[in-house]
Amino acid sequence: MKKLSSMEEFNSMKSEGKHIFMFSADWCPDCRVIDPVLPEIEENNSQYTFVYVDRDEFIDLCADLGVFGIPSFVAFDNGKELGRYVSKDRKTKEQIEEFIQGL
């Protein structure tokens, strides 16, 4: 999964193509629980580019998007927000796939 490196990159990616931004942090135990299943989720949903957003590095972006719990997911298609799965609760592989299928 690609890691977001700048706000310019976020704005460019958000505006062009289909992206799912995963908001996370290295210290987050609920985020680490889903790490093993993320490659399979990415592979099964290859129409999207998945991007890891470190919550600590991009705290202002989190505030702008209303992402106050992690792990969380926000999907965009050519600048339009398709959907969000934002909460502080632990997420299962099935819940994440259900969110993506509903976009």
Active site residues: 28, 31
55 class by beta-carbon count within 10 Å (0-12 exposed, 13-18 middle, 19+ buried): buried
For residue 23, the cross-strand partners are 53, 72
Length of the chain in terms of residues written:
103
Helices (H) and strands (E) in the chain, counts: 5, 5
Let me know: does 1 contact 52? Beta carbons within 8 Å.
yes
